Amino acid sequence: MEGLLLAWFTEHGRDLPWRRTRDPYAVLVSEVMLQQTQVERVIPRYLAWLERWPTVAALAAASPADVIREWQGLGYNRRGLNLHCAARRIAADGWPDDLTELPGVGPYTAAAVANFALGRDVLPVDTNVSRIQERTGHRFSAAAGQALMDLGATVCLARIPRCGVCPLASACPSRGRRYEPLRKQSRFEGSFRQRRAQTLRLVAESERPLSDLDRDAVQSLAQDGLVRVAPCGTFVTLP
């Protein structure tokens, strides 16, 4: 089954910029950006990020404020600060053997960097990979990581898989099945997440009086280290 998958990937695999490098820093940037953000949105931001900060040392030397500004529009801004903190640690101490020691790096991201950049024999299991393994009843090797992600993103879809074009269909016990809709993330429009994003955008443009801002959003952003309230309590700035 894995042979069929890899043959399909050779012909149909997506040409993504982070697949053209084995630089662990570049791969880490892509994986952090791809957390909860669509590939199409990430590609231009990834390229711009690496143009501005092409190395770990370059990002480590940046200010948190510049990192927050560059991250604007990707969502979940704490990811940008975690990436910055990780770069500072790597610049100071090198890459740890256990990548989950880096800020914001969980088991999946650690496995992805280990596999795609460091050549370690570990399969990164995201929702796509987990879904394919569950449906096929097959356990794939680390060599199939990228192929599984592409199959899950383009063919073995969550609700209505495209079994007619799937290279694994002939041996898949779930062929032809449809699935219940997944529970969607809560709406962004009108949510507290939107209030936080709007407040951070204002502060990223320039220092703002606290009285002009959403106080609850400011408090939440400050707790995450994304903004700083002046000691006098009257102005809000980026850190």
pLDDT in tens, 65-104: 999 999 998 988 999 999 999 999 999 999 999 999 999 9
The CA distance from 161 to 176, in Å, is: 8
pLDDT in tens, 115-172: 999 999 999 999 999 999 999 999 999 999 999 999 999 999 999 999 999 999 999 9
Structure tokens at 5: 């998958």
Taken in order 217, 223, 224, 226, the sign of the CA dihedral is positive
Residue 128 contacts residue 151 (beta carbons within 8 Å): yes
Structure tokens at 151: 């199959």
Is 134 one of the catalytic residues? Answer: no
| pLDDT at 182 exceeding the cut of 80 | no
**Which pTM was predicted?**
0.88
Q: Where are the beta strands (DSSP E) in the chain?
A: 208-209, 228-229, 235-237
Query: Is 40 in a helix, a strand, or coil?
Result: helix
pLDDT in tens, 30-51: 999 999 899 999 999 999 999 9
Q: What H or E segment, with its residue span, contains residue 86?
A: helix 78-93
Domains for the chain: give ranges and CATH numbers. 1-12+121-184 (1.10.1670.10), 23-116 (1.10.340.30), 192-237 (no CATH)
| Set 11, 31, 51, 180: catalytic member | 31
Q: What H or E segment, with its residue span, contains residue 87?
A: helix 78-93
What are the residues whose beta carbons fall under 8 Å from the beta carbon of 215, sequence distance 6 or more?
Answer: none
